A = this chain, B = another copy of it.
Amino acid sequence: MGGGNRFQEPVKINRRRQVRKEKEEDEVNESFKSPNLEAERRRREKLHGRLMALRSHVPIVTNMTKASIVEDAITYIGELQKIVENLTEKLHEMEETPLEIYEQQTVHTIKPEVEAIDLKMEMKKTGIEENVQFCKIGKRKFWLKITTEKRPGIFTKFMEVMCLLGFEIIDITLATSNGAIIISSSVQILQGLCDGGSVDPQQTKDFLLEVMRSNP
């Protein structure tokens, strides 16, 4: 049977709408006493509270209506999602652009995952080839440039090899781009060991190339 309006009386609430009448102690009418009356009451209060909480979390509220609250929440969520999307996009953009000075006409839409195979393919795509240059620029001084695939530890290996060959690093520049690494350096043969004449540039170059190609 019917709704609670049976007990409705013009009771004015502090703010809005009616609320259930103050508990009538003596219910002369047939009191069916639905078992879930109080539960339903709690449920309503709960939903009401949740809606109010939702309303408090939404900055722009066009109307106090339940449906409006939910609607505003939906639009607000949409705005937040859009903001998040834009921010992440900007962040990624700002994070990655400093590296890519290269023209964007090249199709490098590849994800910047650092996998050796992908790096090799990337090197092929960008036209970078493995290369070692080594030439004599002084009595004991040499200049070298190494272009190769970027692998972890490759630089340390280079340093070890140069130390093993008896070279002292005068200056060195290292740059990485698109999965490739370029090392250019001026080195000097240690004075105590021998002079520059005992260094065969071709042989040293081949050895360096061999080392760079070998796996760690």
Binding site for B on A (CB under 8 A): 1-6, 43, 46-47, 50-51, 53-54, 57-58, 66-67, 70-71, 73-74, 76-78, 80-81, 83-84, 87-88, 90-91, 94-95, 98-99, 137-141, 152-153, 155-156, 159-160, 163, 168-176
CB distance from A61 to the nearest CB of B (A): 13
| Contacting residue for A174 out of B54, B58, B171, CB 8 A | B171
Assess whether A95 is in contact with B50, with CB atoms less than 8 Å apart: no
Copy number in the complex reads 2
Q: Chain B residue with minimal CB distance to A52?
A: B70
CB nearest to A138 among chain B residues: B95
A64 to B: closest C-beta gap in Å? 14
Partner of A81, one of B80, B90, B170: B80
Min CB–CB distance A150 → chain B (angstroms) = 9
- Identify 13 residue pairs between A and B in the complex whose beta-carbon atoms are under 8 Å apart, listed by A's number: A43-B67, A46-B67, A47-B67, A53-B74, A54-B74, A73-B77, A76-B77, A77-B80, A91-B94, A99-B170, A155-B172, A156-B159, A171-B173
A182 to chain B, nearest CB (A): 9
Chain B residues positioned under 8 Å from A81 (CB to CB): 80
